[in-house]
Amino acid sequence: MSPDAASSAYICSVCGERAEAAMTAECNWCDARFHLNQRNDVESKDCGQVWVDEQYLALQFACNSCLAGTDRDPATAEMPSAPAPTARPRSPSPERARRYKRRA
């Protein structure tokens, strides 16, 4: 095996089998490589999913190991490492000096 061929192969984090680099993806949650068929004309194994994140208009990749930990649809699931947005109540602030003059 040539050095280039050895560097283009990965071990799938889900099933533990060898996977070619072109047929893998990196999980956005755990950063591990997994089998993902990115072509319709080739039969291959899928050990994860990919979907379009409607909020960020970006592709999200997730392995089946990370998806097994979520009970929701992956398209609507929050990334576990992302903190949930919280709304801070606005406290009434004291009157501040203006940086500009108010027009009459």
Q: What value does the mean pLDDT of the chain take?
A: 76
Classified by CATH at the fold level, domain 3-68 comes out as: Herpes Virus-1 (3.30.40)
Residue holding tokens 């990370």?
Answer: 66
**Strands 33-35, 24-26: parallel, antiparallel or unpaired by DSSP?**
antiparallel
Domain boundaries, the chain: 3-68
Angstrom CA distances, 48 to 17, 22, 27, 65, 95, stand at 14, 15, 8, 8, 54
Q: How confident is the model at residue 84 (pLDDT cuts 50, 70, 90)?
A: very low
Q: Give me the mean pLDDT over the 64-75 stretch.
A: 71
Residue 54 above 80 pLDDT? yes
Q: Output 64 or 78, whichever has higher pLDDT.
A: 64
